[in-house]
Structure 1
Amino acid sequence: MDTWAWVAETPASWDDRKRQVLGGLDPALFGLGRPESGDPLGDEWWRVEDGAGRTLGYGRLDGSWGDAEILVLVRPDARGGGVGAFVLAHLETEAGRRRLHYIYNVVPHGHPDPEQVTEWLAGHGFVRNDVGELRKQVPAGVVQNSG
């Protein structure tokens, strides 16, 4: 693993880095609509940068309902190298700082590889509930382990 940075984007807006990380997928697939460059994005966003300043991925946290829906995005050429786990660990820390109890994700209909994403989330402790969300309790003590 390179030295990766977790960079808050406040406020977040749509840009070419996000478009590249999506790797040709439609932003609407992830509930982002069809933004134009510079359009503001809701929720809280962070990006992962390598030591050369290249954007490898993004994490989004929507904690507006007491728990937090998350989004983990990894640049296609960086997948399989631990970037997603890095994003997920940091999102758990962010949720812990906000004293949220659960983080969850819904794999959207039309996702090009829903089985792989579902298996990846399950491998990181997420469990499917009766409404199709993949949920994980925010671990106790995650705030103390933040980085």
Structure 2
Amino acid sequence: MTEGRPELTWTEEPTPLWDADKAAAFSPAGPTVHGLGTPAEGDALGDAWWRVETTTGEIAGFGRLDDTWGDAEVLVAVVPAFRGRGVGAWAMDRLGEEAAARSLNYVYNVVPVGHPDREAVASWLGHQGFDARDTGELRRRVTTRAATTAPSQ
């Protein structure tokens, strides 16, 4: 049995940099398989990044959003010690909220062919509401909080 999800915080990184914490979260796949190249410690990263921490200050993972043309590619990386505890789903929900705040239409992800857990990640994304496309892309429509909580007519 896995432990429950810890209390978490979501903090935007104003100047995202590659560091040991991100390297741990991307293990064992590494940054290259996710299209991030081979960053060295302290290298600047593009796009918008958030850090997921426990309320005691432990880094549990990261979320990334790359918005273009009304949609956004999203990526969640969870530190191994926190995997299987709901941290990734929590972070994906936060990324959905960030996309809604930017008035985006869809969030999407493409699980790279070289990913060591490709099928498991694609299945997990399906459980998060992403639909598979023939192109290999998995997409989920962005909904605003108002749209999801509005009373039915």
Question: What TM-score, normalized by structure 2, do the two folds share?
Answer: 0.89
Cα RMSD (Å): 1.6
Three-state SS of the structure 1 residue aligned to 2:145 is coil
Three-state SS of the structure 2 residue aligned to 1:63 is strand
Three-state SS of the structure 2 residue aligned to 1:45 is strand
Q: How far off is 1:68 after superposition?
A: 0.2
Mapped partners of 1:25, 1:128: distance in 2:
21
Matches within 5 A, 1:63-82: 63-82=67-86
- 1:118 pairs, out of 99, 115, 122, with 122
Aligned residue pairs, count:
145
User: Runs of 4 or more off by more than 4 Å in structure 1?
Assistant: 142-145
Give ranges in structure 1 of 5+ residues lacking alignment: none
Which deviations, in whole Å up to 9, do the C-alpha atoms of 1:53-76 show, x marking residues without a partner? 111111000002320000011111
Identical amino acids, percent of aligned pairs: 47
Matches within 5 A, 1:129-140: 129-140=133-144
Work out whether 1:58 is the aligned partner of 2:90.
no
Question: What TM-score, normalized by structure 1, do the two folds share?
Answer: 0.92
Equivalent in the alignment of 1:13: 17
Q: How far off is 1:25 after superposition?
A: 2.7
Give ranges in structure 2 of 5+ residues lacking alignment: none
Which of 1 and 2 has greater Rg?
2
Q: How far off is 1:144 after superposition?
A: 8.7
Work out whether 1:28 is the aligned partner of 2:37.
no
The worse-fitting range, judged by mean Cα deviation, of 23-32 and 110-119 is 23-32
